[in-house]
Amino acid sequence: MIIVIRIKGIPSVPKDIEKTLHLLRLRQKFSATLLPENEVTEGMLKKVYAYVAYGKIDKETLKELILKRGRLLGNKLIQIDAKNIDNFAESIIAGKAKLQDMKLKSFFRLHPPRHGFKKSTLTLYPKGTLGNHNEKINELLRRML
């Protein structure tokens, strides 16, 4: 699974990129969504790479993300025990389950990263925050929880 985090805000975004961000469920700054790895997703990410940071999420980070920032429909907190969340996180990473199976919202609202961005938000990775981070996206995501 790929986690995509919108880093840049709304002003001066071209219409075609704005539509792609809406299709990815990234409607506001510091929102995140989980996507499967396939050609369609890769094509959409190539189009919006200058506005988002993305990479492969690991099981532990996904577990923390669901527990801390996951919301049920109606913006209610979730009440799940640790054993169920472990199984659910494994099945999501394997592609067998979706967030909607547990009636969770399909996106996560995040905080700005604690202690700020370590690099520029205007340039691409590795000198900046935007673009493909692969496994290092988990560090950024943990600071945003």
Tell me the pLDDT tens digit for each residue of 70-88.
Answer: 888 888 888 877 778 888 8
Number of domains in the chain: 1
The residue range of the domain holding 22 is: 2-64+106-144
In a domain, 10, yes or no: yes
- Strand, helix or coil for residue 60: helix
Q: What is the pTM of this model?
A: 0.88
In a domain, 69, yes or no: no
Tell me the pLDDT tens digit for each residue of 97-119.
Answer: 888 888 888 899 999 988 888 77
Tell me the pLDDT tens digit for each residue of 33-50.
Answer: 999 999 999 999 999 988
In a domain, 80, yes or no: no
Measure the CA–CA gap between 75 and 9, rounded to whole angstroms: 23
How far CA 134 is from CA of 32, 71, 75, 130, 131, in Å, comes to 15, 26, 30, 12, 9
| Mean of the per-residue pLDDT values of the chain | 87
CA angle 57, 1, 23 (to 5 degrees): 110
For the domain that residue 52 is a member of, what is the CATH number? 3.30.1390.20
In a domain, 137, yes or no: yes
Look at strands 128-132 and 52-56 and give their pairing.
Answer: parallel
In a domain, 90, yes or no: no
In a domain, 95, yes or no: no
In a domain, 91, yes or no: no
In a domain, 88, yes or no: no
Give 24's strand partners.
none
